[in-house]
């Protein structure tokens, strides 16, 4: 488990990035509330690169990340996370389809648990897995984050503009 998170400001609020001793990204998480204090040591060399890639992603100019990363988990979790990385930008699959791609429809619950245990959000696109009926079910970062990311990638239509209330009454 990494000792410290480096804060990254995004349109979704602060994310925290943690790196292993080799400089590879090991966690990228969304903070709910106040983020922890930033680390006291020097930032890894890959942190500015990660920040630039996330900025490009959120501005719609990046679809594929190439940050060195290693997600620690069981052999099954590793298989699920590799499969998630095969889902193209702008597409989503169901949990059932994820289980089928893993070779066994019966592993749907285990695949959903592994999806939820993903330690590197956005880069390992667990947000691209939805319910069989198209519903946005289960997401560790919050359903608001999942919806935002799927709208950003064009899986869901852009949110309609909210009606503006008059600032003053006539």
Q: What is the pLDDT along the chain (170 residues), one digit of tens a residue?
A: 445 889 899 999 889 999 998 999 999 998 777 766 777 777 889 999 999 999 999 999 999 999 999 999 999 999 999 999 999 999 999 999 999 999 999 999 999 999 999 999 999 999 999 999 999 987 878 899 999 999 999 999 876 655 555 555 54
Q: What angle do CA 73, 79, 82 make, to 5 degrees?
A: 100
Structural domains of the chain in order of their starting residue, each with its CATH number: 6-58 (no CATH), 75-152 (1.10.10.10)
The Cα–Cα gap between 79 and 119 comes to 14
The Cα–Cα gap between 7 and 31 comes to 9
Enumerate the active-site residues.
Answer: 126
Question: What pLDDT score was predicted for residue 75?
Answer: 97
Taking the alpha carbons at both ends of the chain, their separation in whole angstroms is 59
CA distances in angstroms from 13 to 2, 16, 30, 132, 152, listed in the order given? 21, 10, 8, 29, 15
Residue 157's Cα: distance from chain center in Å?
19
pTM, entire model:
0.87
Residue 8's Cα: distance from chain center in Å?
13
SS3 of the chain: helix, strand, coil, percent, to 5: 30, 15, 55
Question: What pLDDT score was predicted for residue 162?
Answer: 57
CB 132 within 8 A of CB 89: no
Question: What pLDDT score was predicted for residue 168?
Answer: 57
CB 83 within 8 A of CB 37: no
């Amino acid at each position: 488990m990494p000792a410290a998170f480096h804060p990254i400001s995004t349109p979704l609020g602060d994310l925290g990035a943690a790196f292993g001793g080799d400089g590879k990204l090991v966690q990228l998480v969304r903070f709910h509330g106040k983020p922890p204090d930033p680390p006291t040591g020097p930032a890894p060399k890959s942190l500015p690169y990660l920040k630039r890639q996330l900025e490009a992603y959120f501005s719609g100019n990046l679809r594929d990340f190439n940050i060195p990363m290693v997600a620690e988990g069981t052999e099954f979790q590793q298989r699920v996370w590799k499969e998630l990385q095969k889902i193209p930008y702008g597409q989503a699959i169901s949990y059932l389809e994820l289980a089928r791609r893993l070779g066994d429809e019966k592993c749907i619950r285990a695949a959903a648990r592994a999806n939820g245990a993903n330690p590197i959000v956005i880069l390992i696109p667990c947000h691209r897995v939805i319910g069989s009926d198209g519903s946005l079910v289960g997401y560790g970062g919050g359903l608001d984050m999942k919806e935002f990311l799927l709208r950003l990638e064009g899986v869901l239509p852009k949110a309609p503009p909210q009606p503006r209330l008059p600032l003053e009454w006539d």
